[in-house]
């Protein structure tokens, strides 16, 4: 008997001496037609990884015609970094194992990388020996793209939610600051013997602070800014001392309550700015209130302003407990006041601005003549746990 040459073609085992029944031939033809017309790539290969058959679905997905790939290694469509993955699949097939719905990547003829879901089954001879493998690959690029978009959308929603929480926490904190000067002015007006000029000044304080609160409430009601976590700057032509005066007015109740000595070192000539008066006043008042809160009663607080080419640097310096190196690293973070947040502050030395609400220090400001400004802050520590200076410089 002559030995038959291995052609690489897989055919079902048929008992010797038995002729194919016409119904069997029809079934095979139907099965071949189904395989060939499938939208999925249906490929068979040897246990060494050489391609035996290639249907039209495989041509549609990968771009190769059957004559271009049959007899070649299956690695022709596998990215180089995934060749080890293919070897693992072949090892499982030799053990008779099946791989179901395995998501991976393959390479098309034109170099495109295609996300596919792969099912690989062992092909057995009549005696049960595994002699080849059948692979069904489905293009899942659209599904993967949809999953990626969904994930990006979820991340965007989480980011918007986090920004909203930070934004609302910041506004809730800032809304408290104007209340102190309003109470201060009302208490002063209730004292007997007030002159008309003193009454007028108190009314002006209340009016300015109510305007400030109204601006903050407008921010609170602007949903688009909440989701973006941004504040709108309304820049006007103004003078530096008027902004500093508004900040001192807000911080005065805290400064007087702790009997601090506030010293001013300001330019002798008027400094004109194109700036958002409310936002800058918030920055400076937060620095003053923070300095007052963390300086022992009767402390020294200094507010300096000096001009540089095209900019003005405003500094708040105190002789309080200062800012440790650990706290300086987290001074720009937002930290809601919760039991866990307080514990973290005790461990790290991080403190909240004005002692309540989010621990967000004002960011660096550009406060140049003829220019706008941007948020930010720089903190200096003169000695461990003693005295600190906070600058609001040009970026």
Beta-strand pair 300-308/261-265: parallel
Q: Which one has a higher pLDDT value, 90 or 351?
A: 90
CB contact at 8 A, 253 and 209:
no
What pLDDT digit, counting tens, does each position of 92-102 carry?
999 999 988 88
SS3 content of the chain, % helix, strand, coil (to 5): 45, 20, 35
pLDDT at 163: 79
Min mean pLDDT across 26-35, 288-297, 360-369 is at 360-369
119, 40 contact by CB (below 8 A): no
Confidence of residue 29 (pLDDT cuts 50, 70, 90): confident
Q: Is the pLDDT of residue 88 over 60?
A: yes
Residue 39 confidence (pLDDT) above 80: yes
Report in angstroms the alpha-carbon separations of 49 from 106, 173, 183, 224: 15, 67, 83, 57
pTM, rounded to two decimals: 0.45
Q: Quick one: average pLDDT of 116-129? A: 90
Question: Best-predicted range by mean pLDDT among 57-61, 215-219, 333-337, 374-378?
Answer: 57-61
Mean pLDDT of 375-382: 45
Region of 94 (left: φ > 0; alpha: ψ -120 to 50; beta: rest) is: alpha
> CA–CA separation, 17 vs 190, rounded Å?
119
Instruction: Give the residue-averaged pLDDT of 321-344.
Output: 56
Neighbours of 276 (CB within 10 A): 22
Note the pLDDT of residue 349: 45
What pLDDT does 341 receive?
44
Give me the pLDDT at residue 164, please.
77
Residue 395 confidence (pLDDT) above 50: no
State mean pLDDT over 67-90.
Answer: 92
User: Which pLDDT tens digit goes with each residue over 155-202?
Assistant: 988 888 887 777 777 777 777 788 888 888 888 888 888 888 888 888
Burial of 327 (0-12, 13-18, 19+ CB in 10 A): buried
Closest CA to 298 of 255, 330, 356: 255
What pLDDT is stored for residue 299 in this prediction?
92
Would you say residue 43 has pLDDT above 90?
yes
Q: How many CA atoms lie less than 13 Å away from 317 in the CB half-sphere?
A: 13
Q: Indicate the average pLDDT of the chain.
A: 76
Q: Beta strand 300-308 with 51-54: parallel, antiparallel or unpaired? A: unpaired
Question: What are 8's two structure tokens?
Answer: 């690489």
Residue 387 has what pLDDT? 45
Binned at pLDDT 50, 70 and 90, residue 66 comes out as very high
Whether pLDDT at 104 is above 90 = yes
The residue among 3 and 279 whose pLDDT is bigger is 279
d(CA 56, CA 235): 66
Give the Cα separation of 62 and 135 in Å (integer).
14
| Average pLDDT, integer, range 365-373 | 39
pLDDT in tens, 311-326: 888 999 998 887 666 6
């Amino acid at each position: 008997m002559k030995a038959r040459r291995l052609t690489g073609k897989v055919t079902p085992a048929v008992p010797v001496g038995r002729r194919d029944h016409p119904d069997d031939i029809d079934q095979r033809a139907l099965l071949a037609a189904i395989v060939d017309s499938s939208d999925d790539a249906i490929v068979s290969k040897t246990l060494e990884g050489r391609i035996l058959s290639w249907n039209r679905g495989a041509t549609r997905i990968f771009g190769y015609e059957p004559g271009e790939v049959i007899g070649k290694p299956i690695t022709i469509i596998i990215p180089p970094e995934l060749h080890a993955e293919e070897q693992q699949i072949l090892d499982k097939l030799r053990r008779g194992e099946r791989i179901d719905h395995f998501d991976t990547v393959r390479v098309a003829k034109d170099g495109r990388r295609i996300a596919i879901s792969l099912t690989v089954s062992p092909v057995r001879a009549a005696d049960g020996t595994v002699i080849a493998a059948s692979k069904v690959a489905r293009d899942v690029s659209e599904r993967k793209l949809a999953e990626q978009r969904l994930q990006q959308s979820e991340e965007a929603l989480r980011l918007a939610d986090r920004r909203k929480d930070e934004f609302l926490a910041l506004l809730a904190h800032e809304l408290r600051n104007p209340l102190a000067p309003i109470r201060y002015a009302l208490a002063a007006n209730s004292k007997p013997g007030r002159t008309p000029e003193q009454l007028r000044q108190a009314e002006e304080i209340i009016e300015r602070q109510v305007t400030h609160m109204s601006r903050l409430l407008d921010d609170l009601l602007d949903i688009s800014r909440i989701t973006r976590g941004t504040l709108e700057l309304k820049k006007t032509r103004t003078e530096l001392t008027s902004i500093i005066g508004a900040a001192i007015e807000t911080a005065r109740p805290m400064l007087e309550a702790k009997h601090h000595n506030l010293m001013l070192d300001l330019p002798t000539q008027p400094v004109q700015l194109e700036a958002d008066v409310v936002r800058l006043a918030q920055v400076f008042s937060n620095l003053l209130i923070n300095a007052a809160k963390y300086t022992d009663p009767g402390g020294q607080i200094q507010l300096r302003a000096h001009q540089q080419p095209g900019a003005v640097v405003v500094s708040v310096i105190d002789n309080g407990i200062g800012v440790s190196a650990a706290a300086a690293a987290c001074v720009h973070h937002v930290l809601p006041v919760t039991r866990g947040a307080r514990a973290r502050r005790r461990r790290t030395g991080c403190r909240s601005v004005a002692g309540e609400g989010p621990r967000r220090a004002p960011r660096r400001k550009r406060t140049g003549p003829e220019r706008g400004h941007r948020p930010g802050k720089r903190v200096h520590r003169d000695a461990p746990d003693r005295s600190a200076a906070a600058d609001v410089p040009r970026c």
